[in-house]
Structure 1
Amino acid sequence: MDIPSPSYSSSPPELSLAPSSPSITNCQICEKPGHGNHFGAITCRACAAFFRRFGITNNFNLCRNNKKCGLSKNGLFSCKMCRLKKCKQIGMTTDNFQFQRDSFHSGETEKMLENLERKIPSSMSTFTGRPNLIIYCAPKDEKSDKKLIDVQFLIERASDILIKGSEYPLFASNSLGKLTLGLQNLRKIPDLSKTRYITKIGQEETFQLYQYDVMKVAKWLTYFDEFQKLRHSLKMDMLKGFWIIWSRLEKLATVAAARREGICKENQVMLEIENHQIMVDTNKLEIDLSWCSRYTFEQLKFFGEPEPNRINYMAATMANLQPTDVELTFMLCQLCLHHVGKRYQGEILEVSERLQESLSNDLHDYYANKIKMRKYSDRLASIMKVNNLVRQGILQRRAKVEFMNIFDVFYVEYSDPEMFVDF
């Protein structure tokens, strides 16, 4: 997928702005506030840039819905082909495209571009070869002082993963067994030679964690056969409710195992990002919130207990439990399904309860027939204790964030707020 670089110029040169007047209406493509007349239609900047990019190249996947896709509730298209089709239907034309706008000779132009490329600073994405699926943008409009975090590319990538299905064919006697194999495939044995020690977490590290977690959960769900049978829009809604709480529990299991094996100490946290193990000392960690708040991390402690204290207690509880891979898989499923069922209600609640019942039967089969544990009520109670601790932490965090929003602590907004309700 080609990912456009964010532009910080006040107005792209290829877009002709109509004079500001009350006659400008909403965008004829996405129905968001219009910005002017672009290529023969009243559009917003985003739709104009989209047409400028794809009006001739058509460099995107074919429509999966027989060219009958509509607008989503937030005004965003999930299908580029149908978006371009609408652009052309309302009269947008490529006649005014300017392909050779500079007056330099080709040799001079190439030399100028070469010199320009030398001046472009190396970003994390160019250094690691990892595309930026989360883009930190300017305010959505001139009157707003809120920065926008655009996660649309991230959502599209996760959607593609769910559509394509699992990377590797796995076979098991039931869904819990197959999900366990999928989890083992995604959770690699720590390679201590690749351990990186970091003392500061800022915008880049935060976005990298978001991106890795969403991709990891999406890949794991491709091994859940019953989940894959649901309609795609329902799967995406559930994924948005899954990823944060799933990653909390999965990271907790990683930290607990590392501390139990002596890989990291009590105040250290081990995280996994792609092929690297990240080691963090919570007593020495500097958290830079300047990209999202006017307050420092120390000042925000006013709103509640620092997170590391709770992590240490939860990690100790998980270490004492020492769940098997099957038990950890069940914990992840139960925690996520129960959470999204209560959050969304309606059809998702019905689906979640049905899937939980099926997985509970699989867990009973594991205890009774695989490891011959006839009495496992105490074991289940310990499992639910850990899950309840994670769930309570999410709810407490959500209450803190709502309290912070009252005081306008953060100056960022997400293009899809549903993905960050539980943060």
Structure 2
Amino acid sequence: TIEEFIGRPHFVISCAPNMLKMNPFEKIIDCNEFVGKGRNILFGGSESPFHFSNTLQKMALARRRMEGRHNTTVKVITTYGEAETMAFWENDFLRAAKWFTYFDEFRRLEQGEQLKILAAVWHVWSRLDKLAITAMGRRKKLCGDFVMFSHGDEYSVMDMKNMEIDLTWCARLTNQQMQFFYDTSETNITYKYAQEMMDLNPDDVELSFMLAELILTHAGHRLKGQTQEICESLLERLANNLHEYYVNEKETPRYSGRLAQILKLNRKLREEIMQIRSKLQLAKVFDVHTVEFSHMEFFEDL
């Protein structure tokens, strides 16, 4: 019943969560170090002073360098609890921050604006990042039908359909019940769209545009106002970069069909991400989680 699911008698189901805290053991996770590491990377700038007339190609080279540092080891992850969650979140956050350091126009924004956008989109960036790495791993037969992602200087794989996932550290529902709110099984975005990503097989420049288009559109919709205008302006410049790349580098002036395929996949990913966000908003209404973060703006959609 609804009463059993949310842990409230029927006569208080409509109470707002902040009026009725059901779990007295709620804890706050200190994320100062987490945010500090990302801030240092973001504001520290890129490691190498690459000079390109085309920002999109610079971002593509940055991604190649990020992936080129990995060794041939592929680690199999069999359990996923609090320690793994926080470690992988930090890894995803720092990878996104590093990628942004090669986005010249983005780095010209005020630091507060940069950090606000990073906070809103790093988890979106990481979803497409994992999808791209998984597609690459499957093409090279490194990960079978599993999810593959970057962690430090090695790749890791997870069989999310069968692995042991523990969410009880952050929620008062069972792991099975929590699967409704999180894509922790075959409903995971990577499982659903890995084959489509393999078929699309974007090169590094196209993938960089996909990442930028996905996150800037997401940030604009989430943050609205002046930030949305900034994101639209940044995306317009990158679209011009992509046009130059197709016409001058690939000598493909008629690229509308290819671009339509890229945007179609991004649209599907955006819809999935919005569905996940809607479910997490529902989790807030029902007061499902037992933890909060010191910097909630970085974890709103997680």
How far residue 144 of structure 1 moved from its aligned partner, in angstroms, is 4.9
Aligned residue in 2 for 1:251: 130
Q: Is the 8 A contact 2:101 2:107 kept in 1?
A: yes
How far residue 273 of structure 1 moved from its aligned partner, in angstroms, is 0.6
- Deviations 1:65-97, CA, capped at 9 Å, x for gaps: xxxxxxxxxxxxxxxxxxxxxxxxxxxxxxxxx
Q: Which amino acid aligns with 2:218?
A: H
- Secondary structure in 2 matching 1:272: strand
Q: Which consecutive unaligned segments of at least 5 residues does structure 1 have?
A: 1-142
Structural mapping, 1:75-90, within 5 Å: none
Aligned residue in 2 for 1:288: 166
Are 1:162 and 2:42 counterparts? yes
Tell me the distance in 2 between the aligned counterparts of 1:245 and 1:301. Answer: 19
Q: Is the 8 A contact 1:395 1:422 kept in 2?
A: no
- Secondary structure in 1 matching 2:92: helix
Are 1:196 and 2:98 counterparts? no
How far residue 264 of structure 1 moved from its aligned partner, in angstroms, is 1.8
Structural mapping, 1:57-68, within 5 Å: none
Q: Is the 8 A contact 1:256 1:315 kept in 2?
A: yes
Are 1:230 and 2:109 counterparts? yes
**CA-based RMSD:** 1.8
Are 1:410 and 2:279 counterparts? no
How far residue 293 of structure 1 moved from its aligned partner, in angstroms, is 1.3
Tell me the distance in 2 between the aligned counterparts of 1:175 and 1:325. Answer: 13
How far residue 224 of structure 1 moved from its aligned partner, in angstroms, is 1.2
Tell me the distance in 1 between the aligned counterparts of 2:42 and 2:151. Answer: 21
Q: Which amino acid aligns with 1:272?
A: S
2:64 to 184, 191, 200: 184
Q: Is the 8 A contact 2:127 2:190 kept in 1?
A: no
**CA, structure 1 residues 394+302, in 2 after alignment: closer, same or farther (shift >3 Å)?**
closer
Number of residues of Structure 1 aligned to a counterpart in Structure 2: 279
Tell me the distance in 1 between the aligned counterparts of 2:198 and 2:168. Answer: 35
How far residue 348 of structure 1 moved from its aligned partner, in angstroms, is 0.8
**CA, structure 1 residues 302+347, in 2 after alignment: closer, same or farther (shift >3 Å)?**
closer
Length-normalised TM-score, structure 1: 0.63
- Deviations 1:313-338, CA, capped at 9 Å, x for gaps: 21111111000000000001111111
Q: Is the 8 A contact 1:259 1:265 kept in 2?
A: yes
Tell me the distance in 2 between the aligned counterparts of 1:422 and 1:375. Answer: 38
How far residue 187 of structure 1 moved from its aligned partner, in angstroms, is 2.0
Tell me the distance in 2 between the aligned counterparts of 1:189 and 1:317. Answer: 26
Tell me the distance in 2 between the aligned counterparts of 1:345 and 1:314. Answer: 28
Tell me the distance in 2 between the aligned counterparts of 1:146 and 1:355. Answer: 40
Length-normalised TM-score, structure 2: 0.87
Aligned residue in 2 for 1:369: 248
Rg larger for: 1
